[in-house]
Amino acid sequence: MPYMNSTIAENYQRTLKAIEQTCQRNQRAAGDVLLLSVSKTHPVELVTAAYATGARDFGENYVQEAVDKIEALDALMPDNQAIWHFIGPLQSNKTRLVAEYFDWVHSVDRLKIAQRLSEQRPASRAPLNLCLQVNISQQDSKSGCAPDEATALALSIAQLPNLRLRGLMAIPAPMNSADSWAQQRAPFDALRVLFERIKAQLPPEQASFFDTLSMGMSDDYELAIAAGSTIVRVGTAIFGARHYSNELETQ
Ligand SMILES: *Cc1c(COP(=O)(O)O)cnc(C)c1O
């Protein structure tokens, strides 16, 4: 079979099972955690393979690559129910396409980007779901707002029309294998504490939509689930290794 559809199906089902078992071990309901299949750099054929085994939520990082893929999937499967999540760094000049094509954006870290997404969201579409990205490990030159700016930013973004502020996203600093389990888990716990603090300050209606902790990737989603993640973003464990072309890196 082209593109090893059976491998993708096995990987996806294995990951779902691992999420379910991790939920059980942590006294959480399996339905609490959404598996977001991160398809960046992979062709639309791999998206259709994951879709065939049940995946509906797909994550992409590069705007033009994603738009091409969304259009290709719509052409192949006109009635598909795929839900597209933008999870990469977002520049102002790319917000229009994201507002038009996506259902979710996890990587908003500035008010200006949120304002543009709000203005550019087509009236015909449901509000765009948004997560505020927080630089939880306070790494230099990394995306995400500073943790101490997050509350003010969230309160401002939650006021904007055509958007729905759903929660927080973070990519913690890479783990050191010598770190203890508690040390590795600490940034995820810190994001959850920040999430709860913000939720308590949002007006009641906006607080009711604020339900998402987007944290955990192929190597650390079990730790993230133990700490309260509600969306894990998994690429490699489902689709295999990525091969970056120069074209993608410069987008
Ligand atoms: C690429 C990417 C992922 C997926 O990473 P894997 O380690 O392949 O699971 C998750 N989140 C973000 C923001 C990414 O850019």
Q: Using DSSP, state whether 204 is helix, strand or coil.
A: helix
Q: How far apart are CA 36 and CA 57, in angstroms?
A: 5
Domains parsed from the chain with CATH numbers? 6-240 (3.20.20.10)
Q: In the 3-class helix/strand/coil scheme, how is 108-121 assigned residue by residue?
A: ECCHHHHHHHHHHC
Can you name the residues that pair with 50 across neighbouring β-strands? Answer: none
Residue 244 beta carbon below 6 angstroms from any ligand 1 atom: no
Strands 212-214 and 163-169: parallel
14: closest CA among 22, 4, 24?
22
| Reported pTM | 0.95
Q: Where are the alpha helices (DSSP H) in the chain?
A: 5-25, 44-52, 63-76, 95-101, 111-120, 150-157, 181-201, 204-209, 221-226, 236-239, 246-249
Ligand 1 centroid to residue 85 C-alpha, Å: 12
Task: For ligand 1, pick from 34, 87, 244 the residue to mutate: most ligand atoms within 8 Å of CB.
Answer: 87
Instruction: Render pLDDT for 191-250 as a digit per residue (tens, 0 to 9).
Output: 999 999 999 999 999 999 999 999 999 999 999 999 999 999 999 999 999 987 655 544
pLDDT 10s digits, 111-121: 999 999 999 99
pLDDT at res. 175: 81
Q: Whose CA is nearest to atom 6 of ligand 1?
A: 235
Q: Considering only CA atoms, which of 3, 166, 205, 4 is closest in space to residue 85? A: 166
End-to-end CA distance of the chain: 31
Residue of minimum CA distance from atom 10 in ligand 1? 233
